[in-house]
Amino acid sequence: MALHFSDASADFKRRERQVWCISAALVPWRRAFKLHGATHEKAPPHDLSEEDVVFVWSYKGHTGPEHWAEHYPSCGGQSQSPIELFNRPPMKEWNPFQFYYYYVTPTSVTVTNTGDSVMVTMDMPNRPYVLGGNLDGAYEFVQLHFHWGSNNTVGSEHTIQHNRYPCEVHLVHYKKIYNDTATAILYEDGLAVLGVMFTISEEDNPALAGLITGLASVTQPGQAITIQPFPLSTFLPNKRKKFYRYQGSLTTPPCNEVVVWTVFKNKLKISATQLAAFRNLKFTNGHSMVDNYRPLQPLGTRQDVGLEQAKWEHEAHLEWMKLELEMAKTEEAREQEHAKIEQAKTELAREQARIEKAREQAREQAKLE
Which residues are near Zn ion by CB under 5 A? 170
Nearer to Zn ion, 98 or 292 (CB): 292
In the complex, least distance from residue 292 CB atom to Zn ion, rounded to whole angstroms: 9
Nearer to Zn ion, 104 or 281 (CB): 281
In the complex, least distance from residue 50 CB atom to Zn ion, rounded to whole angstroms: 26
**What CA–CA distance (Å, rounded) separates 140 from 180?**
9
Nearer to Zn ion, 96 or 190 (CB): 190
The phi and psi torsions of 302 (rounded to 5 degrees) equal -85, 60
Contact indicator for 198, 177 with CB cutoff of 8 Å? no
In the complex, least distance from residue 55 CB atom to Zn ion, rounded to whole angstroms: 19
Nearer to Zn ion, 30 or 170 (CB): 170
In the complex, least distance from residue 115 CB atom to Zn ion, rounded to whole angstroms: 14
Nearer to Zn ion, 170 or 240 (CB): 170
**What CA–CA distance (Å, rounded) separates 13 from 2?**
12
**What CA–CA distance (Å, rounded) separates 369 from 366?**
5
Question: Is the peptide bond prior to 298 cis by the omega test (within 30 degrees of 0)?
Answer: no
In the complex, least distance from residue 185 CB atom to Zn ion, rounded to whole angstroms: 14
In the complex, least distance from residue 158 CB atom to Zn ion, rounded to whole angstroms: 10
Contact indicator for 228, 208 with CB cutoff of 8 Å? no
**What CA–CA distance (Å, rounded) separates 221 from 219?**
7
Q: Which residues contact 217 (CB under 8 A, 6 or more apart)?
A: 111, 223, 225
In the complex, least distance from residue 79 CB atom to Zn ion, rounded to whole angstroms: 16
Contact indicator for 250, 65 with CB cutoff of 8 Å? no
Nearer to Zn ion, 142 or 218 (CB): 142
Contact indicator for 279, 288 with CB cutoff of 8 Å? yes
Q: Which residues contact 334 (CB under 8 A, 6 or more apart)?
A: none
Q: Which 3 state secondary structure label does DSSP give 196?
A: strand
Nearer to Zn ion, 71 or 170 (CB): 170
Q: Which 3 state secondary structure label does DSSP give 267?
A: coil
Question: Measured between alpha carbons, how far is residue 13 from residues 8, 18, 254, 255 in Å?
Answer: 9, 8, 16, 19
DSSP conformational letter for 354: H
Nearer to Zn ion, 170 or 175 (CB): 170
Nearer to Zn ion, 64 or 125 (CB): 64
Vertex 90 angle, CA 84 and 91, to 5°: 105
User: Which residue sits closest to Zn ion, CB atoms considered?
Assistant: 170
**What CA–CA distance (Å, rounded) separates 122 from 94?**
29
In the complex, least distance from residue 147 CB atom to Zn ion, rounded to whole angstroms: 6
Residue length, the chain? 369
**What CA–CA distance (Å, rounded) separates 365 from 229?**
61
Nearer to Zn ion, 170 or 317 (CB): 170
In the complex, least distance from residue 303 CB atom to Zn ion, rounded to whole angstroms: 24
Contact indicator for 171, 145 with CB cutoff of 8 Å? no
In the complex, least distance from residue 3 CB atom to Zn ion, rounded to whole angstroms: 31
